[in-house]
Structure 1
Amino acid sequence: MAKKKSVLDFMEMKAKGEKVTWITAYDYPMASFAETAELDMILVGDSLGMVVMGYQGTVPVTMEDCISHCQSVRRGAPNTFIFGDMPFGSYQISDEDAVRNACRFLKEADMDAVKLEGGRRVASKIKAISDAGILVSGHIGLTPQSSGQQGGFKAQGRDVASARDLIFDAIAIQDAGARFLLLEAVPPELTEFIANFLDIPVYSIGAGAPCDGQLIICGDMLGLFQAFTPKFVKKYANVAEVITNAFKEYVADVKTVNFPEDKHVYHIKDSFDDFQALFAEFDSGYLTEEKLG
């Protein structure tokens, strides 16, 4: 089993040009698969609201939801660097709230770092969390928690004015003490500039290849999440089809009594005659209500 990487390892990987592999996971099995595959990092994203819980977006996700899923993921991947995603409302109100909730990810779920969305507007929160000794990742570009302000799930930074804003956001995030930055759904030309301009690792989710690594949502890449597939997703499997077909086969087997077969049952240890005698006791009324009591 490979040793869990640290922030120093990720800085060294950036310096060497070695790409980081990063996926989301929300439960023990998926986390264990990721660790076996030797993924560098896992994000327990608030995307669990859509992928696991069936919400239309990430806003309804609570701290309790995130902590519970983080605990499951940590049990599945004890030797992987894992981020806890701070849900909407857990850091927007005050710096104190931000630190308190960030601490919960470390104390209750054994996370290695936290991630929060926003640029300059959350710089004070990033600084407060970092000053508390907690590793922080920023997240700019398409930020699902504030997608309403962005007009929906739309790519960002595609014109000079908005690209300039994102560059200023990226600088503010680094200056506030973040040790990582995630760019979502921005042009690769902008991603490359920011990744080269900043000292900290810059990762992409739908922001192109020229950066320090890639993040992808497990439900998207595996074909588990069927509501929609973002343009930037590469599907490596169609697990939903496999599962649906398995369920259909199970239904057919049960209806036609092809399941369970003899190999799927546990046979009696005593003699059949003894069991027949037992059954006869009930049939004859031998076990009265008084005796059963």
Structure 2
Amino acid sequence: MTKKIKCTVVKAFNNNVILVKRKDNKKEEVLVGKGIAFGKKEGAAIKLDPEKIEKSFVTYGEKFEKEYFSLIDEMDGEIIRVCEEIISIAEENLGQLNQHIHIALTDHVSFARERMESDMVIEFPFLEEIKILYKDEYKVAVKALEILNNKLDTKLPEDEIGFITMHFYAARENTNVRNTYRNVSLINELIDIIQDELNIELDPGDSNYIRLVNHLHFSIERVNNNIDVQNPLIESIKSEFNQAYSVSDKLSEKIKSELDLEISEAEKGYMTIHLQRLNDVNSL
């Protein structure tokens, strides 16, 4: 027989979410499970069957507790339960995520369902880019959308895969979703500049497109993290591949205007080589 967990109810938020203080380690934990909090009163000493606990986590910090508890106080308990199931799957595949994912993802899903019920469509325009940049997070997001639609009996659109992917990536890298979206949007704009300047059309499914997206991403990451690169051939590159260098100059100006980051000559040189190769391939 499974040993039951002895604890005291601190607060029952809804039928599916409860905050308890465990008797064995004296720690407060949020427990999530279908009907786990039904009929539980604050201050009551209870024994819980571990098999009914779908998710448990310890909250850290007063700010997080205040935000999370405020959220679940007004949230549909089933959304919380399903989102916690998804977060568990994400952590199994992606590793430990920043605890803010418990707030961010749940709030996003609730709002997404409200939008859908009100016939408000918000498209995610960068699905191809994030599929390349954040492929592990993307795979989990595909599964997450399937779970949401099945268990919440809803029909959230494919665009939600993009938004959920960004939440996973932000939580994995301890950054915020706004920065992630901004960077993906910038890469999309840089690709538009490249296509216009080189008069080429790139296929998102092509290996050259994938290499380009990755190159732009890592260039921005290197500059953002102050990683210096050396390029002893920069003068030869500038003179030999004049058009491609001119395009890399325009890309650098765009990055500077959007992110206030200065692109080095060496980094421009590597961009130029990549653009020249791209131009050669598309000229065949």
**TM-score category by the smaller chain?**
under 0.3
Name which structure has the greater RCO, CA cutoff 8 Å, separation 6+.
1
TM-score by length of 1: 0.21
Q: Point out the structure with the larger helix share.
A: 2
> Based on CA coordinates, which of the two structures has the bigger radius of gyration?
1
